[in-house]
Amino acid sequence: MRSPVVGFYRHRSFALAAGPGVPASPRPPVPYPVSRKSNGFTLLEMLAVIILIGIAVVAVSISVTQGLASARVNAASSELAGALRATRAQAIVRAQAQNFDVDIRANTYRDAKQHVVRLPRGLRLSITSAKEDQPDPHTGRIRFFPDGSSTGGRITLQSGRRQWHVNVSWLTGAVSVVTK
């Protein structure tokens, strides 16, 4: 049996035999199918994809921004609680009353070493304490005594609608942070 002719040249024309019993094609094969429909994307499809990517980026950035703001307030409330605990410890160690002052107008407080600490921007500060311990209308004070007790009070940090309360027990002077 003869093997089929796969391809050969005859006077500059190309012929290809597909197999036994199949006639050879007089024209060379087309390298890709010719059609009127393009295989690319339309401008409308590209715009839709770009808009969807933009929406996803905005959603992620908002989520990250809110997460960072929440972390910043959590850190500020933890630092405030630590400063209150340090002031209580100083009262016990020195055997004399120590003051913890909060200035609601300037959003600052004085720590145990009397350093002024400013809260991050965007936070509002308020204090609920004994009326007798307010040196002026915009300053609140919590006093700690040598036995560990205090005048008690609550310092509130607020960012938007969220609030963090730093509570000081009057009987024990214990400091706790509550998120609402």
pLDDT score of 1: 52
Structurally, how many domains does the chain consist of? 1
Sign of the CA dihedral 70, 75, 78, 80? negative
Distance CA 105, CA 172 (A): 29
Backbone phi and psi for residue 118, each to the nearest 5 degrees, phi listed first: -95, 135
Residue 101 belongs to a domain with what CATH number? 3.55.40.10
Mean pLDDT value of segment 146-166: 92
Partners of 109 in the β-ladder:
102, 117
Express each pLDDT in 39-79 by its tens digit: 788 999 999 999 999 999 988 888 887 777 778 888 888 99
In a domain, 172, yes or no: yes
In a domain, 165, yes or no: yes
Express each pLDDT in 5-19 by its tens digit: 555 444 454 445 555
Distance CA 175, CA 170 (A): 10
In a domain, 4, yes or no: no
Global confidence as pTM: 0.66
Distance CA 103, CA 118 (A): 10
Sign of the CA dihedral 148, 150, 154, 156? negative
In a domain, 16, yes or no: no
What residue numbers bound the domain in which 138 lies? 72-179
Secondary structure of residue 108 in the 3-state scheme: strand
